[in-house]
A and B are shown apart, each in its own frame.
Chain A
Amino acid sequence: MKKKLALTLTLTVTTALLAGCSGGGNSADARVVNVCGWGENIEPELIDQFEEETGIKVNYQTAESNEAMYALIKNGGANYDVIVPSDYMISQMIEEDMLAELNFDNIPNFSLVDDRFKNLSYDPENKYTVPYTWGTLGIIYNSDVVKEDVTSWDIMFDPAYAGQTAMINNPRDALGIALMKLGYSINTTDENEIREAYQLIADAKNNGVYQGFFMDEIYDKMEGGETSVCTYYAGDYLVMYENNPSLRWAVPENGSNWFVDAMCVLKDAEHKEEAEAWINFITSTEASLANMDFIWYSTPNKEALEQYPAYYEEQNGEPLDPALYEVMAAPQEILDKCESYLGLPEETRTLYNDLWNELGI
């Protein structure tokens, strides 16, 4: 009898403990918001500041890629409120009815967002998203090795730099690069065009142009001089440049991809109001400035974008190199040449995936 009692007690205590651990999210008085972003993609002090100002606790988690985050949500393995996917993933999620419409009355700071970042193709009526960061995809090269002026995507397939070039390791960007080199749209659904682009990469690979296919490993390789030519994102170039001043950045003349990562709220989010409070806070000019200074991806907040060079000088005691500012916040005439990714139909996505696997066989 005693034993039974002890057992019951233990069980009760354990259950209570477990319930306690699994997040006060369920209790009414403690306000929480679960945010999922990319690694190194937020100024951590902003989280403390938000918690202090509003009393809402932020559980900040990170995902490795759009696809990994999507898989996690799809499997029910995550209880995020706010997520920060990229444009093409947003349109896919809207299509699959995974996002909640935002109540913009709770997000007055949305008015600070530059008009050119509103109503973009992934969310034409701007019902679901508030942009977080934006930037361009471009060629990063080592000026000690590459003496020519880089103006086109050709260099990514140039045998002159065989064994010195690295291709990006995700199908959307890699096939996108090849499509742009061929002069096709990066959002094409024409199977022949996509196959032609694939062939371009496969040939270059078979001719030994590529050292390999890399994502974040590329930081070390570019900084250390192991790799001389690669394609990566503007904000990341600035980090590499800080560690290796021989590196240069080029957005090809016939255009590139420009991307937007935007904050959205999941349809079944438990803390929608808190989520909107968070989005509003992050969109404020002060937060945008601090964030931009930390992650070096540019903000869609118009004021913050304009004030950033002055803010940089104030924070770092030296003026911001205008060339670097231009990399960070590409001027409109460059953006005009660029195209953003749209969500692709299911069969095209499958084609991308099949081709990408084929490349590794």
Chain B
Amino acid sequence: MKNRLSLLAGPYVVWMALFVVAPIFLVVIYAFSSAGGGFTLDNFAKMSTYWVVFVRSFELALIATFICLLIGYPLAYIMAKEGPGFQRIAMVLIMLPMWMNFLLRTYAWMSILENTGLLNQFFQAVGIIDLGNLINGWLNNLCAGLNDLLGLSLNTARDTNMEYFKMINTSGAVVLGMVYNYLPFMVLPIYSVIMKLDHSLLEAARDLGASTGRVFRKVIFPLSLPGVLSGITMVFVPSVSTFAISRLLGGGNELLLGDLIERQFLGSAYNAQLGSAISLVMMLVVLICMYVMNRFGEGEEQAVML
């Protein structure tokens, strides 16, 4: 019986071998070989110039993941508490953008965030930009005053003639793009974990006199941690390796890891070896991150069990 069932896994095993294991194997071979084909560690040595890109990518991905968690957790929690009608609608609304092409969605953000874009036009119309100029003027005066009084050197050169807020082509826009695109991957796992919580545990906590806040802190939150952890993984990993978002929303000003890897394959100097080496290191760092986080998560889960 067991044997026959395991046969059903056959197609997937073949799939894995062909499209997951074999490519990784190729990446490893490329990463350790020179253009001529011999074994070398040069590719890794060459990479040291790019550590800034590594740091930046992980930093932006961390920020994006944190913001997703900040928005995603309450959203998932509220959704799970509401009636089935609300849940259905909320679910459709969360999934709806994912039915559209990812590049199209990012392109749309471009026209929203541009200097002459929709958002800036709106700010202009309702006077928020004038208000910003006014506040900057006040701050300049205030800082100038403080500088005179206390001998400080505060910034007094804030722009008071802004015609728009600069949003596009900044790292902020890149983070926004990541949050927008990957938020559903945070909400869905947390939501499904909270939905499946054993209600008798919550009742028991309340019976024993815990306040609503305490029930959340001591019972609901710890029990929803597995969902949080998988949400973090599912947002963090694609954020680290993203490339189109940084080009479209970041204006290609600051490279991310994804861009760097893409350039090695499609750029002016074809260098699959270096590209593979960067990919390999990125995979390893991500793996280590995940491992550390899961260890931390395991501990939490056990603590809850006990």
A residues near B116, Cβ cutoff 8 Å: 224-226
B192 proximal to A (CB < 8 A):
no
B233 within 8 A of A: no
Complex interface: chain B residues within 8 A of A353 (CB): 263, 267-269, 271
Contact between chains at A352 and B255 (CB < 8 Å): no
Interface pairs A-B: 8 shortest CB-CB? A212-B251, A360-B255, A353-B269, A213-B252, A212-B169, A349-B269, A68-B266, A226-B114
Interface 1/0s, chain B 227-261, versus A by CB < 8 A?
00000000000000000000110111111000110
Q: How far is the CA of A361 from the CA of B260 in the complex (A)?
A: 10
CB neighbours of A172 from chain B (8 A): 268
Q: Is the CB of A214 within 8 A of B252?
A: yes
Determine the residue in chain B with the shortest Cβ distance to A217: B248
List residues 189-225 of chain A with CB under 8 A from any CB of chain B: 205, 210-214, 217, 220-221, 224-225
CB distance from B258 to the nearest CB of A (A): 12
What are the residues of chain B within 8 A of A64 when measuring CB–CB? 266
**Complex-state Cα separation, A312 to B260, whole angstroms:** 44
Q: Which residues on the B side are within 8 Å of A163 (C-beta)?
A: 115, 166
Would A213 and B266 count as touching, CB distance under 8 A? no
A-chain residues with CB within 8 Å of residue B268 when the two chains form the complex: 67, 170-172, 349, 352-353, 356
Q: Which residues of B are found within 8 Å of A68, using beta-carbon distances?
A: 266
Q: Which secondary structure dominates where chain B touches chain A?
A: loop
A74 with B253, Cβ < 8 A, contacts A224-B116, A357-B260 known: no
State in angstroms the CA–CA spacing of A102 and B111 once bound together: 47
CA A217 – CA B109 in complex, angstroms? 13
Q: Which of A71, A226, A349 contacts B117 (CB 8 A)?
A: A226
- Knowing A224-B114, A361-B52, the reply to whether A65 touches B252 (Cβ < 8 A) is no
Chain A residue with the shortest CB-CB distance to B263: A357
A70 at the B interface (CB under 8 A): yes
Q: Point out the residue from A71, A212, A224, A354 that lies within 8 Å of B252, measured CB to CB.
A: A212
Cα separation A350 to B269 with both chains bound (whole Å): 6
Pair B114/A221 contact, Cβ less than 8 Å: yes
Known: A163-B166, A217-B110. 10 other contacts (CB 8 A): A67-B266, A67-B268, A210-B251, A211-B169, A212-B253, A214-B251, A349-B269, A350-B271, A352-B269, A353-B269
Instruction: Find chain A residues with CB under 8 A from B102 CB.
Output: none
* Interface size class, chain B: 20 to 34
**Does B221 belong to the interface (CB within 8 Å)?**
no
Interface residues of A in 331-360 (CB under 8 A from B): 346, 349-350, 352-354, 356-358, 360
Is A315 part of the binding interface, using a Cβ–Cβ cutoff of 8 Å? Answer: no
A72: nearest chain-B partner, CB-CB: B266
- Let me know if A243 is at the binding interface, CB within 8 A: no
**CB proximity to A under 8 Å, residues B31-56:** 49-50, 52-53
Chain B CB within 10 Å, residue with most, of A163, A211, A220, A357: A357
- Write 28 A-B pairs (CB below 8 A) sorted by A numbering: A64-B266, A71-B265, A71-B270, A71-B272, A74-B270, A75-B272, A171-B267, A205-B253, A211-B168, A211-B251, A213-B251, A214-B252, A217-B248, A220-B111, A224-B111, A224-B116, A225-B116, A226-B117, A352-B269, A353-B269, A354-B269, A356-B267, A357-B49, A357-B50, A357-B260, A357-B263, A360-B53, A361-B53
Collect the chain B residues with CB atoms within 8 Å of residue A221's CB: 114
- Contact partner, A361, options B169, B255, B266, Cβ 8 Å: B255
Distance between B32 CB and nearest chain A CB, rounded to angstroms: 18
Q: Does A26 contact B (CB under 8 A)?
A: no
**Hey, which chain A residues are within 8 Å of B247, CB to CB?**
169
Interface residues of B (CB under 8 A from A): 49-50, 52-53, 110-111, 114-117, 166, 168-169, 247-248, 250-255, 259-260, 263, 265-272
Nearest B residue to A348, CB-CB:
B269
Query: A357 — which chain B residues lie within 8 A by C-beta?
Result: 49-50, 255, 260, 263
A39 to B254, CA, bound (A): 27
Instruction: Please name all residues of chain A whose beta carbon is closer than 8 Å to the beta carbon of B166 when the two chains form the complex.
Output: 163
Chain B residues closer than 8 Å to A71, beta-carbon distance: 265-266, 270, 272
Chain A 155-171 interface 0/1 with B at a Cβ cutoff of 8 Å (1 = within): 00000000100000111
B267 contacts across to A, CB distance below 8 A: 67, 171, 353, 356
Give the distance in Å from the alpha carbon of A342 to the alpha carbon of B115 in the complex: 38
Question: Is the beta-carbon distance between A67 and B270 smaller than 8 angstroms?
Answer: yes
Given B111, B252, B260, B270, which contacts A70 in the complex, CB threshold below 8 Å?
B270
CB-CB under 8 A from B53, the residues of chain A are: 360-361
- Min CB–CB distance B164 → chain A (angstroms): 10
Report A202 CB to chain B, min CB distance, Å: 12
CB nearest to A164 among chain B residues: B115
Distance in angstroms between the alpha carbons of A155 and B270 in the assembled complex: 32
| Chain A residues positioned under 8 Å from B114 (CB to CB) | 221, 224, 226
